[in-house]
Amino acid sequence: MQSELSLAPLTAGEIDAIRADFPALSQEVNGYPLAYLDSGATAQRPASVLDAERYFLEHDNSAVHRGAHTLAGLATEAFEDARETVARFVGARASEIVWTSNATDGLNLLAYSMGNASLGRGGDAARRFALGVGDEILVTEAEHHANLIPWQELAARTGATLRYIPVNDDGIFTADDAASLISERTRVLAFAHVSNVTGYVAPVTELVALARGVGALVVLDACQSAPHRPLDFAAMDVDFAVFSGHKMLGPTGIGVLYGREELLNALPPFRTGGSMITTVTMEAADYMPAPQRFEAGTQPVSQAIALAAAIRYLEGVGMTRIQQHEEQIAERLVRELSAIDGVRVVGPAADIRRSGLASFDVAGVHAHDVGQYLDVRGIAVRVGHHCAQPLHRRLGLTATTRASAYLYTTDGEVDRLLESLPEVRGYFGVA
């Protein structure tokens, strides 16, 4: 949980000061100052995060939970302090934070562990996770592939049925849409807090209530919310959640699986090997409590320490202020992009709250060509289906261009995007 020092909007001066902390933002691309509008894919890192990881590697680098020497002790302490920092950030206990390599890894860990329970692993405690014929897993049509394919695979392995909540022509769904599909057969409800394509913010409270009404587990994809808005998983009453470090000023190779402690301790492990066991014989093994039971092998120690530094940076700015800044940019993007001839913005209208991103289609021009045209002018955006092919198919599109904001995004960067886009169709001869 974050305590806000101020709820006042970020000022232009504060944003300039923030940008000075990010070495990558001061460079030129193709002779233009970089306008980085792709933080929804990977955020840039401040010097304090780079320095934290470098300091550890230069001074305290050692294996954690293994040696009895000084460096091993320092590394272990820093590693577990990082877990505490992450736990505080999302309203959890340290025992509820499992290190993964990214959010995709966390979702696969969860789905595969439930598959193990379905095979009888984990004993009586794990039976609550076992799935079979007649059981249902419910997702939405808007999911990132990382929150779709693992559930497809779990359904295929167990005989359960995968169902999905459809979206409307804007790519959004409501709690009423979910209520029409959730039933006593629903065992898992998995959905994104914020869509990485439309920026739509899901009605978490209503969805959790529906799941609770039928005893289903709730799995939240928080990849596009944890970096951008205050979160408290305990207060949200979700059972599991995932997010990635590289989207929130941290390094690649580190992610988080949150799970309620009693559920993690009942869930059979996914990966096995060193560090996650208590006793091993030639016939069997006993596993440690969570979170260590899911952390086999050498851990991403420097990455976890850097992620903790990133969280401290975000907390220093204030998550509510970051959210306000990004939502203001999103409202402007939707309103002004929609006014450009031939541009279709997908997702909620400008007067409906969305997270700080906007995906759009330029009539007659493929998204890859749009992205290359902008890149020549130093404007970095994301192009493609954004790992959400079913959603794009529902919207009648194969790909979109996405501009995504973060705490360091300026109005000037948005100006450059809005000034360049009207030229695209003429350049490609389709105006």
Query: How many other CB atoms sit within 10 Å of the CB of residue 159?
Result: 12
350 pLDDT band (50/70/90 cuts)? confident
Residue 32 contacts residue 377 (beta carbons within 8 Å): yes
pLDDT of 91-124, one tens digit each?
Answer: 999 999 999 999 999 999 999 999 999 999 999 9
310 pLDDT band (50/70/90 cuts)? very high
pTM score of the predicted model: 0.96
Residue range(s) occupied by CATH 3.40.640.10 in the chain: 51-315
CA 187 to chain centre: 23
Among 3.40.640.10, 3.40.1190.20, 3.40.50.1100, 3.90.1150.10, name the CATH number for the domain at 51-315.
3.40.640.10
CA 229 to chain centre: 12
223 is catalytic: no
Residue range(s) occupied by CATH 3.90.1150.10 in the chain: 12-46+318-427
pLDDT for res 6:
57
Average pLDDT over residues 170-193: 97
> What does the block give as tokens for 431?
């105006």
Specify the pairing of strand 217-221 against strand 28-29: unpaired
φ, ψ for residue 265 (rounded to 5)?
Answer: -70, -20
Q: Is the pLDDT of residue 408 over 90?
A: yes
Just give the CATH number of 12-46+318-427. Answer: 3.90.1150.10
Could you tell me where the DSSP H helices lie in 251-318? 261-266, 301-317
* Collapsed DSSP state (helix, strand, coil) of residue 95: helix
Residue 83 contacts residue 97 (beta carbons within 8 Å): yes
Q: Where do we find the tokens 């595969």?
A: 112
Catalytically annotated residue among 72, 94, 387, 418: 387
pLDDT of 357-402, one tens digit each?
Answer: 999 999 999 999 999 999 999 999 999 999 999 999 999 999 999 9
Cα–Cα distance for residue pair 266/138, rounded to 1 Å: 22
Q: Is the pLDDT of residue 159 over 50?
A: yes
pLDDT for res 4:
46
353 pLDDT band (50/70/90 cuts)? confident
pLDDT for res 2:
41
